Amino acid sequence: MATATGLGRPRSLPALPLVGSLLQLAGHPQLHLRLWRLQGQYGSLYALWMGSHYVVVVNSYRHAREVLLKKGKDFAGRPRTVTTDLLSRGGKDIAFASYGPLWKFQRKLVHTALSMFGEGSLALERIICREAASLCETLSAAQDTALDMAPELTRAVTNVVCSLCFNSSYRRGDPEFEAMLEYSQGIVDTVAKESLVDIFPWLQIFPNKDLTLLKKCLQVRDQLLQQKFTEHKEAFCGDTVKDLMDALLQVRLSAENSSPLEPGLELTDDHLLMTVGDIFGAGVETTTTVLKWAVLYLLHYPEIQRKIQEEMDHKIGLVRHPHLSDRPLLPYLEATISEVLRIRPVSPLLIPHVSLADTSIGEYSIPKGARVIINLWSVHHDEKEWDKPEEFNPGRFLDEQGQHIHSPSPSYLPFGAGIRVCLGKVLAKMELFLFLAWVLQRFTLECPEDQPLPSLEGKFGVVLQVQKFQVKARLREAWRAAS
Ligand code: HEM
Ligand code: PLO
């Protein structure tokens, strides 16, 4: 089809009235894999219809770069869907809000607050190390028994984000933490997975199990957030800023005092609440998921685990614990983290983008309002860019001497890129490094003898989830001897 720009539209999957191309997608719960495989028939850039929504699927780095970087502003929108509207109270957060002056202001605020409290600050390193020490204690206590590490990893990561956002943390078995684990799982299971209710919003008038669960979980989350927010508002005096919540309150106060904002541009309580909800939700679910993938891959590749430990013994030894400043000393650990983020991207389809103007990708015309899905799975498994992409091989991220980390292909975007790039990249990398370094310095992680190696297949959703598995954490002989 020729368009106003003279360019043709991308080739489209067949589409029926009302349902669109759903017949081609139905029965494939792993949407990222289905969209990856459809390239064989339709090429790396193709279109489809989800109900009445025109969707463009990008599977190559060349086109992803155009969408995210070269024409970032053209594609900075987000779709509104039933589930993300519920999660973010109609897009009052950052991740699911469309592009606009208020979103820009919110994003900048959080960026500043994060750099003030987190990135580069010794205080944050201290918090992460405190949680890493507590995680190691738990592993020590459970030594040699099969353990589901997921709740322990989640508590460690949650406490980092909790300290950052609310200057508080949870102890083991805290009922509020257990409630949080449960509601968060419910949200991850039901939100933003291109489910039917998001494609056909009118379906929400019918009883729907997923939607009922989401609403119930959001009620619990909102109550928790509201309680923290009220406590902070009551205690806030404007002088001392203890955490991100205080920082947001302070910036709002000074914005109100200096110049009255245009109507519609003010940060309401809902905006602050949803913003903290994003940082909290993203902060916990993403980093925990990567840690679980990393542990799972180490069970499958004991020789890689051994190599990380040898590097650590050699460069750090067993008398002191690892610091952030050790990152350049441990390239093999860094390369392993990079490889985990490549082979199992946390967010395999990013968050869908929306074109804000008539524009183009490559030689194709894209109309305003199109949803653009960047298939990061395809970008990270592209055989033209990666040697044996299915293979877990940290060495691909190292130079010939194995001393420095580098990417052999630009086709690597675990945190996205451009205007909508992840806000927590620096924080996440600090946590991944420190948690893994602490644990591997002391323990060898093994699959319990009586169990098969757990599956490496992910479960598609708003994050690429790991299936439940158990681990035996064995205290290393070298560590035992040294201490
Ligand atoms: C967005 C990855 C950790 C906060 C994103 C996106 C990706 C991503 C792929 C979507 C980019 C797009 O749509 O183009 C990751 C990975 C993480 C991680 C792999 C961990 C290893 C975090 C953490 C935080 C965070 C710790 C919070 C402190 C956000 C926010 C957005 C976002 C607020 C939305 C940005 C926007 O729409 O403007 N992240 N993330 N992320 N991330 Fe992360
Ligand atoms: C995770 C469950 C929480 O209860 C709510 C939440 C908020 C922000 C979301 C996050 C969930 C999942 C991962 C997301 C994040 C915003 C950015 C991040 C989507 C749903 C990524 C990876 O893009």
Nearest CA to ligand 2 atom 4: 184
Residue 144: pLDDT band by 50, 70, 90 thresholds? confident
Atom of ligand 1 minimally distant from the CA of 413: 9
Rounded Cα gap, residues 320 and 479, in angstroms: 11
Q: Of 156, 106, 417, 134, whose CA–CA distance to 288 is shortest?
A: 156
Asked if the model's pLDDT at residue 453 lies above 90, the reply is yes
> Which residue has better confidence, 320 or 199?
320
For ligand 2, the distance from its centroid to the CA atom of residue 369, given in whole angstroms, is 23
| pLDDT for 360 beyond 90 | yes
Ligand 2 pocket check for 276: Cβ under 6 Å: no
Burial class (CB in 10 A: 0-12, 13-18, 19+), 123: exposed
d(CA 84, CA 191): 6
| For the ranges 47-56, 276-285, 288-297, the one whose mean pLDDT is highest | 288-297
pLDDT exceeding 70 applies to what percent of the chain? 96
What is the distance in A from the centroid of ligand 2 to the CA of 278? Answer: 6
Question: Long-range contacts of range 247-254, CB-CB < 8 Å, 24 or more positions apart?
Answer: 247/109, 247/112, 247/113, 247/116, 247/117, 248/109, 248/110, 248/113, 248/272, 248/275, 248/276, 251/109, 251/112, 251/113
pLDDT at residue 263 above 70? Answer: no
> Across 15-24, 332-341, 402-411, which has the greatest mean pLDDT?
332-341
Q: If you measure from the C-alpha of residue 201 to the centroid of ligand 2, how many angstroms do you get, rounded to a whole number?
A: 21
State the pLDDT at residue 118.
65
Please give the pLDDT value at position 300: 98
> What is the pLDDT, as a whole number, of residue 261?
62
- Choice between 144 and 179, residue whose per-residue pLDDT is larger: 179
CA distance 283 to 424: 7
Helix (H) or strand (E) run with residue 429 in it: helix 425-442
Angle, vertex CA 205, rays to CA 199 and CA 207, nearest 5: 100
Mean pLDDT of the chain: 92
Assign 5 a pLDDT band (cuts: 50, 70, 90): low
Is residue 103 within 8 A of residue 90, CB to CB? The reply is no
For residue 420, is pLDDT > 70?
yes
Q: Residue 249: which of 263, 234, 236 has the closest Cα? A: 236
Least confident of 171-175, 320-324, 418-422: 171-175
For 185-230, write each residue's pLDDT tens digit: 999 988 877 777 777 787 777 778 889 999 999 999 999 999 999 9
Phi, psi of 474 (to 5 degrees): -105, 125
Q: Which atom, in ligand 1's list, is nearest to the CA of 414?
A: 19
Burial 181-217 (b: 16+ CB within 10 A, else e): bebbbbbbbbbbbbbebbbbeeeeeeebebbebbeeb
For residues 359-377, give the mean pLDDT: 97
Measure 382 CA to ligand 2 centroid, in angstroms: 26
Query: Is the Cβ atom of 275 under 6 angstroms away from ligand 2?
Result: no
CA angle 342, 345, 346 (to 5 degrees): 145
Q: How far apart are the first and last CA of the chain?
A: 72
What pLDDT was estimated at residue 297? 98
Work out the pLDDT band at 428, boundaries 50, 70, 90: very high
Cα distances from 268 to residues 89, 271, 279, 377, 423, in angstroms, run 12, 5, 17, 37, 21
Residues 6 or more apart in contact with residue 211 via CB below 8 angstroms: 82, 83, 190, 197, 204
Phi/psi at 3 (5° precision): -125, 180
pLDDT of residue 250 exceeding 90: no
Q: What is the pLDDT of residue 259?
A: 67
- For 11-52, the DSSP string reads PB---BTTTBTHHHHTT-S-HHHHHHHTHHHH-SEEEEEETT
pLDDT in tens, 97-117: 999 999 998 998 898 888 877
- Give the residue whose CA is nearest to atom 13 of ligand 2: 282
CB of 423 within 6 A of ligand 2: the answer is no
Q: Rounded to the nearest 10 degrees, how much is the dihedral formed by the CA atoms of 223, 227, 232, 233?
A: 80
